[in-house]
Amino acid sequence: PMWVADMDFEIAPEIRTALQARLDHGVYGYTVPFAEPVNAVLSYLLRQHNYSAEASWLNFLPGLVPAINLCCHAFTGPKDSVMTVTPVYPPFLSAPNYAGRELIKVPLCLSSKDLWTFDFEAMQAAIKPNTKVFLLCNPHNPIGRVFTRAELTKLSDFCERNDLIVISDEIHCDLLFDPKAQHVVTATLNTAMAKRTITLMAPSKTYNLPGLACAFSIIEDSSLRQQFNKTIRGIITEVNCFGYAGCAAAYNYGEPWRQALLNYLRSNYELVDSTLRSELPEVLFRPMQSTYLAWLDVSQLNIKNPTVFFEDNGVGLSDGTPFGGPQHVRLNFGCPRSRLEVALEKIIRAVKLR
C-alpha cells in the first residue's frame, strides 16, 4: 500500500514521551483548549511562519476535513457556489456538494517552467455572481507545489476583486523539502486577505499524528469567526486530551525530528524522480517542493484503469480520478527507502511487461 496520506515512520521521541505522560495520568475526561497547546501553536506560528496570531483567533478541531465541510455551510447559502482548482484533495470536491452548493472547478495550468499554477483567466471566466468561497490547498495536494508569494498575491487580488472568502488548507506547510521554497501563510499576504481568510492547519501530516485527531483554524476577522463558531456549535466535538498533548509536544519539541524527516523525504523524492526519468520516461512526474505525495501522469501508458493495473501488480496507489485527474495516480513516498525501492521496482516491472 502506497496510497493513504500518512507516513510509515515512528513519531518523535519527545511526542511519545508526552503521550506516555498523559496516559500515565490515568484520567481521560473531557478536555477544552488550555494554555499549553494554545501557546505552543501561537509560538510555532510566530517562529516558523512569522505569523503573529492571537489566542482568540484559534479554534481547535478534530480534523481539517470536517472543517472544510463546515466552512461550506458557514460561509455560503443554499443558492451559492464554491470555486476550487483541480486536481485537488477529494474533500475539496465533495464538501460543496455535501452542503448542497454548486461547485466550480477550474483546472490548474502549466507555467513556462513546467510547474502547475493558477489559470486566472479561466478562473475569472468561470466565476459567477453567486460564488462566495474559494477553496485553496497550499502546499498543494496532490501536485506538491508551494505557491510563491507572487502567485498568492495574484490570488489575493482575484479574491478581493470577486469578494471571495478563502478557506486555506495549509496542513502540509511544514513539509517543504525544497530549500528554495518558502511557505507563505495566506492570511499574512496583506490586511485585506487576512480579513477574508480561514486558515486551517494541523501537526498531523508533518509529525505523523493523524490518529490523534487534532487540527485548528485561525480566523482573524471577528464576524467570520462568529459565523464559523455558530456553525460548529453542537456539531464538532472537542479535541481529545491526547490530541492536545501530541500537538503541544510536536510544536514545542519536534523540530529536530522534522528536520531529519525533511532530509529523508528529499532523498526519497530524488529517488522517485531519478528512477522514473531513467526507467519510465513515459510516466510524467513534474517537479514538486512539498508533501510526500508524488502525482504521476500515466496517460501515455494507455491503461484503462491505472489503479487496478498497479494493484494487480502488487502496488496500491491512489486513483487520480477522485482528485479530478483521471489517468493519474498518487504515490506516497513517506516510507522507509527499502519499501519505496520495492514499490518502484514493481511499478517498472509492471509497465515494461504489460
For residue 139, pLDDT beyond 90: yes
Give me Rg for the CA atoms of the chain.
Answer: 20
Which amino acid makes up residue 117?
T
Q: Which of 57, 317, 6, 63 is nearest to 213 (CA)?
A: 63
Q: What is the pLDDT of residue 5?
A: 94
Residue 312 burial (C-beta neighbours within 10 Å; 0-12, 13-18, 19+): exposed
Q: Parse the chain into domains and list their residue ranges.
A: 24-253, 256-349
Go through 102-112 and write b for each residue having 16 or more CB atoms within 10 A of its CB, e for each that does not.
Answer: bbbbbebeeee
Segment 306-317, tens digit of pLDDT: 999 999 999 999
* Confidence bin at 224 (pLDDT 50/70/90): very high
Concatenated DSSP letters of 104-118: EEEE-EE-TTS-EE-
Beta bridge partners of 120: none
Q: What is the pLDDT of residue 277?
A: 97
In the CATH scheme, what is the code of domain 24-253? 3.40.640.10
Residue with cell 519536534: 254
Distance from C-alpha of 229 to C-alpha of 154, rounded to nearest angstrom: 30
Read off the pLDDT of each residue in 333-351 and give the average, rounded to a whole number. Answer: 98
Residue with cell 448542497: 100
Q: 177 with 262: CB under 8 angstroms?
A: yes
For the chain, how far is it from start to end, CA to CA, in angstroms? Answer: 21
Superfamily of domain 256-349: Aspartate Aminotransferase, domain 1 (3.90.1150.10)
Segment 187-205, tens digit of pLDDT: 999 999 999 999 999 999 9
For residue 93, pLDDT beyond 90: yes
Q: What is the pLDDT of residue 260?
A: 99
Q: What is the pLDDT of residue 112?
A: 85
- The mean pLDDT of the chain is 98
For residue 262, pLDDT beyond 90: yes
Q: What is the pLDDT of residue 74?
A: 98
What are the angstrom distances between the C-alpha of 229 and each of 166, 234, 278, 307, 310? Answer: 17, 10, 52, 40, 44
Q: What is the pLDDT of residue 251?
A: 99
Residue percentage of the chain with pLDDT more than 90:
97
Distance from C-alpha of 335 to C-alpha of 337, rounded to nearest angstrom: 6
Q: 77 with 55: CB under 8 angstroms?
A: no
Q: 276 with 283: CB under 8 angstroms?
A: yes
Q: 8 with 336: CB under 8 angstroms?
A: yes
Q: 141 with 293: CB under 8 angstroms?
A: yes
* Confidence bin at 113 (pLDDT 50/70/90): confident
